[in-house]
Amino acid sequence: MSRIDGLFARKNPVFIGFTVAGDPGIETSFRVAKTMIDAGVDLLEIAIPYSDPVADGPVIERAHARALRAGTTPDDVFALVRQVREHAPDLPVVLFTYYNIVYRRGLDRFFAETAAAGADGVLIVDLPVEESGEVAPSALRHGIDRIALIAPTTSPERQHAILREASGFVYLISLEGVTGERDRLPLHVAGLVGAVREKTDLPLAVGFGVSRPEHVGAVAAVGANGVIVGSALVRIVEEHLGDEAGMHEALRTAIKAMRCGIVPDPGPDIPRRERVEG
């Protein structure tokens, strides 16, 4: 059983935290990751910095830029994963990346290095299912889960095609557009969770726009197996660039507050709320 499978088997729902490797500096980013883990992140999603992060909103886009200015390379990202693995041997780690990074590295080399570093899954955010055939053999060969993305606009037919290629868990995008904090979550999240649940036994994790404790609680309440928080945590790094001690304290406070929004699965006999309110 993989670390991702084991996590979802023993804990539901889980809290997934996102960070950009190398933000705001290569050494500091490990301390950021360590703080997030120690504060209660159940699964860590680490972005490989990229110059054109089209799926990301302004907060995360600026984090990519800071990391690149700091000189962060894929080699540095793999080194960061190894540090995380030493600190937290059982913690699942997923790399968030854009396909050009994988392609330029070489598909088999990229997945071999991902596995050797100790990561468990890869989410290639801009790779459509129709073009993912070359990726599958390398991921399978090296035991790396391929995390799939499903958006509110994904048709049922396309959902089936995406789910046939997925493993680990499914990343459900709560809203149209790029990543970023929102005042409220759309009402259709419950319907999206329910519709995809009918098509797969894989765990479902909801992200994009989830940035407050009440958002976390609302997503958990509609039956999601995981809640993903990204921009709200990356923003804390940005707001404390000159105050690393304050950065870590703010991250701990935010993660603990958001984790309080997660209510354990009440079981099949207790109905959940039928919609998400921001």
What are the tens digits of pLDDT across the range 74-111? 999 999 999 999 999 999 999 999 999 999 999 999 99
Q: What is the Cα–Cα distance from 103 to 29, expressed in whole angstroms?
A: 25
Whether 20 shows a pLDDT value over 90: the answer reads: yes
Dump strand ranges (E) for 83-169: 93-97, 121-124, 145-146, 148-150
At 38, the amino acid letter reads D
265 catalytic, yes or no? no
Q: Which of 23, 42, 52, 56 is catalytic?
A: 56
Residue among 69, 41, 27 at smallest CA distance from 244: 27
The predicted pLDDT at position 175 comes to 58
56 catalytic, yes or no? yes
Q: Which of 5, 23, 42, 45 is catalytic?
A: 45
Checking 26-30 for CB contacts under 8 A at 24+ apart, the result is 26/70, 26/71, 26/72, 26/76, 26/80, 28/244, 29/67, 29/72, 29/80, 30/80, 30/83, 30/84
Say whether the peptide bond before residue 268 is cis (omega within 30 degrees of 0).
no
Domains defined along the chain, listed by start: 3-259 (3.20.20.70)
